[in-house]
Amino acid sequence: MKKAVFDILKAIGEDPEREGLKDTPARVAKAYEHLMQGYSQDPHQILKSAIFNEECNHMIIVRDIEIYSMCEHHMLPFFGKCHIGYIARDHVYGVSKLARLVDCFARRLQVQERLTQQIASHLMEPINAEGVGVVIEAQHLCMMMRGVSKQNSKMITSAMLGSFRNENATRSEFLRLIGMERT
């Protein structure tokens, strides 16, 4: 990876040997190791370690989970917030594992649509949830810094499974509680 960064610096007309860039290939390689750590994580293991028996048949919401990911088309960052809701039956997740699951999938080359669906799908089955809702609001630097250069644009995606998909009242409650329902 260091050699590839060195070659990129040369290709754009920079001198990779100058003082300010001398250590850049190593720094970029280390940064990418961190940014792409989701490939070395198993989402099933993340959740499996924090499933607790709890009779709880109401909506559980964690909102405003920060996300940082990389667009797979331009390898530029996108960032924003993820909101998760689920209705448990007799098991609940440890709250920090929801954020870890989000990071596991976000720390890969992604498109926001897939990221949203992956999070929702992986939450549904392990606890046999009645329903799951995931909404992601994100800004994409590939749209802000290049191309159409729209600075204030935001993409919103949602994945609704089970009762969140089939029952309008459940979906509306979730959207209202995360502040997304329009009056």
Catalytic residue IDs = 71-74, 112, 140, 142
19, with CB counted inside 10 A (0-12, 13-18, 19+), is: exposed
Question: Do 114 and 70 form a contact (C-beta atoms < 8 A)?
Answer: no
The token duo for 25 is 């290939």
- Find residue 161's DSSP bridge partners: 132
Helix (H) / strand (E) containing 142: helix 141-144
Question: Do 172 and 181 form a contact (C-beta atoms < 8 A)?
Answer: yes
